[in-house]
Structure 1
Amino acid sequence: MDALKLPSLDTGRLCQEFGLSSAVLEDPEQRIPYATVDALLERAVELSGADHLGLLMAQLPVVDPDDVGSAVIATSPTLFESLERGVRYQRVWGDGERLSLEKTERGVRMRYTPVGPWRPAHRHLAELVMAQLVTGACLLTERNVVPLGIRFVHAEPADTRMHRERYGCPLFFQAPANDIEFSHEDAALPLVHADALVHAIFERQLQRALSALPTEEGLSARVRHYLQRSLGGGDCSIAAAARALRLPARTLQRRLAAEGQSYAGLLEALRRERAADFLQRRVSIAEVSFLLGYSDPSVFHRAFKRWWGVSPETFRQRHAHTR
């Protein structure tokens, strides 16, 4: 809750509106539905007028001395290994939003994916996460680490002066995903608090915390896996998914709703993500339409224009330089 302590925001009123006590929000063991968090952030923007809420929230310390996960990250040998630990143990912090790490030709890329179809709160969450990664990299290495670039799914805000000051690197908006890329040299930087023994002690605690969590994936993740296998030739209907998951279709819909998701939303989010990725890899537009399960390319064109605000051809031209 400290992250929302802004001069222009009455946090007591905000909590009251959502039926949440400050004790619940300040308890690190409490888990709040992502849909509630999203709605709370969007309401906070309305009440405070803070258009750059994510960047303001990022002014808090990125390392929590009372958090075992922070200790594991801070005592890792290198920046890359600290990022890898963050991905490995992310379920300890939350069950929905996801970070992934991959090597690129120029270095390493960390990708952030919020929960569910895009909504305004996701802009602030993505900007918060990217600011924390930049600040954390500089703090833990005691070097001026400048990312190769940061990409955001959302449209470019009217005023980006605070963004450019905070990130200090090339920024791209309306990109296929929220991600940040570090060079090979920066990824290999040693952390100033690296300590093998301390790291091993805290990591064992984190491993125990992770093993205590339920091992079964949420239903939305299982649906997404099904859709990943079925796009481009399979049956993407909810009836087919329900049969594959051995659930009645109504039960599938009800359980997804309990996770703050919908079948149509998961399918559209995956198609949107895949479409952007395929176009950047120079796959033909007709083939992209087929690979996403559209029988009529014109339907794909209309959907893509709705997702990104431009045609597939224009999108490809705009983002040819971001890979």
Structure 2
Amino acid sequence: MKVRDLPISYVAILLDVAENFGASKSELLNLAGMDEATLENPEARCPEETFRVLLNSAIQKTGKHSLTLHFGQQLTLTSHGVFGYAVMSCRNIQQVIDILTKYYRLLLNNVSLIVKTEDDRISIEFHPARTRPEDCRHDTELFFAGLLSSIKHLLHIERVDAEVELEYPAPDYREDYQTILDCPVHFDQKISRIGFPIALMDEKPEYANPAMLKLYEQQCEELLSRMQSSEGLRVKVREYLVSAKQQFPSLEQAASHFYMSPRTFRRRLSDENVSFQKILDEVRRELAETYLRNPAISVNHTADLLGFHDVSNFRRAFIRWSDGISPSEFKKQHAHH
């Protein structure tokens, strides 16, 4: 299984949702270079890039910009494969959250989840790491709609007592958020997260089955380790750079960290259509944006934290990364957060 593959059931559900909004199933399959036969095979997987093409084409063909929310709402527990079965076997919602944070990478790439408990609330922060804001929005919509829908299915309830905060401005279909998520939704927040009352954690799904859970967890574990060993060098380099923070290594240092000569290291990355510099820029840009959103961290301090000895070099680099926006403009735009 390749790292960026999704269950084929996602494709089937997405096509049904798009068809309900007037798109042609066969036309969409055609655009994604897939055929009906693939959908019949429960073992089949869909490369994530193909799924993106499908999703964007479906939005275009239906003219329904909230399609991802509708799609997330329609996802069933069984559509998540072995991960979904693990969730269904949990003894309470707390265990569901534990399974989610342990194995979410089987379903969601390019994101990180952080669970926090404060007083009588538990919240899950959702941090997407895509470059295009609309991809980040789609990932966020999908996650929150899918999570709420799963909890409703598990507990057989109509509504979940939850509250959602989103770090982007309200899109023009904000009513669909209210209808589909069916809980308070706040836009333009510091981070995207969903909060639940701690009491919800004790609620018990009716299918709870500890023996089966053990079995499904083993399968999740196996899939995850297969996935990580097939992950490209790019992902490993990215993780290495993120953990390096201020002291970013040179290409030579990075190559030796991965036991390769600089030449092999360059070639291996180029096989994955990326360069060391490009990954370094991505990581620096993401960290820069995180620091600049923090009112307590100045532009100069941000430059420092990213290992730029000269703030004007940082300014030039940031303008290059962010299509002409300077660090201080970015800070101003996000100051109200």
Q: CA deviation at 1:270?
A: 2.9
Q: Equivalent residues in 2 for 1:82-161 (5 A)?
A: 82-93=96-107, 96-105=109-118, 107-112=121-126, 116-118=130-132, 120-142=134-156, 144-152=159-167, 154-161=168-175
Task: Show CA shifts across 1:253-288 (max 9, x none).
Answer: 32332xxx6655544443343334434373333222
Give the alignment partner of residue 4 of structure 1, picking from 12, 15, 19.
15
CA distance in 2, matches of 1:140, 1:146: 14
User: Which residue number in structure 1 is paired with residue 271 of structure 2?
Assistant: 255
Q: Which runs of 5+ in 1 are unaligned?
A: none
How has the CA–CA distance of structure 1 residues 231 and 66 changed in structure 2, closer, same or farther, with 3 Å as cutoff? closer
Distance 1:118 1:216, change over 3 A: same
Report what 1:318 is aligned to: 336
Q: Which residue of 1 aligns with 2:283?
A: 270
Q: Secondary structure at the match of 1:149?
A: strand
Distance 2:147 2:25 in 1: 26
Out of 73-82 and 206-215, give the one that drifted further.
206-215
- Residues in 2 aligned to 1:199 and 1:78: alpha-carbon distance in whole angstroms: 12
Amino acid at match of 1:275: A
TM-aligned CA deviation for residue 162 of structure 1: 0.5
Cα distance in structure 2, aligned partners of 1:307 and 1:145: 42
**Equivalent residue letter for 2:164:** G
Instruction: Render the CA deviation track for 1:113-141: whole Å, top value 9, x for unaligned.
Output: 55742263442232111101122223323
From the superposition, tell whether residues 201 and 126 of structure 1 become closer, same or farther in structure 2 (CA, over 3 Å): same
Map 1:205-220 onto structure 2 (within 5 A). 205-210=219-224, 213=227, 215=229, 217-220=231-234
Would the alpha carbon gap of residues 289 and 29 (structure 1) be closer, same or farther in structure 2, given more than 3 Å must change? farther
Distance 1:126 1:230, change over 3 A: same
> What is the SS of the residue equivalent to 2:165?
strand
User: Which of 69, 73, 77 matches 1:55?
Assistant: 69
Amino acid aligned to 2:49: A
Contact 1:68–1:202 under 8 Å retained in 2: yes
**Paired residue for 1:294?**
308
Name whichever of 60-69 and 297-306 sits farther off.
297-306
Instruction: Indicate whether 1:221 and 2:235 are aligned.
Output: yes
Secondary structure at 1:294 match in 2: coil
Return the alpha-carbon distance in structure 2 between the equivalents of residues 81 and 151 of structure 1: 25
Q: How far 1:76 sits from its partner (Å)?
A: 1.0
Q: Matched residues in 1 for 2:46 and 2:60: separation?
A: 21
Contact 1:39–1:121, Cα closer than 8 Å, also in 2: no
Give the Cα–Cα distance (whole angstroms) in 1 for the partners of residues 71 and 275 of structure 2.
29
Q: What is the one-letter code of the residue matched to 1:318?
A: H
The letter of the residue matching 1:102 is V
Unaligned ranges ≥5, structure 2: 1-11
Deviations 1:49-69 (A, max 9, x none): 111110121232431179332
Match of 1:187 among 201, 218, 226: 201
Quickly say closer, same or farther: Cα 1:187–1:272, change in 2 above 3 A: farther
- Matched to 1:81, the amino acid is Q
1:46 maps to what in 2? Answer: 60
CA offsets 1:196-253 (integer angstroms, 9 cap, x no match): 2343344344445545556354312211122114442324x65654454325354143
Q: Secondary structure at the match of 2:171?
A: coil
- Is the deviation greater in 217-226 or in 300-309? 300-309
Following the alignment from structure 2 to structure 1, what is the Cα–Cα distance between the partners of residues 98 and 60? 36
TM-score (norm 1): 0.78
Q: Distance in 2 between matches of 1:306 and 1:85?
A: 40
**Greater helix content:** 2
Aligned equivalents of 1:209 and 1:163: distance in 2?
33
Which amino acid in the other structure matches residue 36 of structure 1? T
Determine helix, strand or coil for the equivalent of 2:45.
coil
**TM-score, reference length from structure 2:** 0.76
The CA distance in 2 between the partners of 1:66 and 1:145, in whole Å, is: 20
How many pairs does the alignment contain?
311
Partner of 2:213: 199
SS of the counterpart of 2:307? coil
Match of 2:177 in 1: 163
**One-letter amino acid matched to 1:23:** A
- Give percent identity, aligned residues only: 22
- 1:232–1:292 Cα contact (<8 Å) kept: yes
Supply the RMSD in Å over aligned alpha carbons: 3.4
Distance (whole Å) between structure 2 residues aligned to residue 306 and residue 20 of structure 1 = 39
Rate the CA distance shift 1:65–1:120 in 2: closer, same or farther, 3 A: closer
Q: Shift in Å at residue 191 of structure 1?
A: 2.9
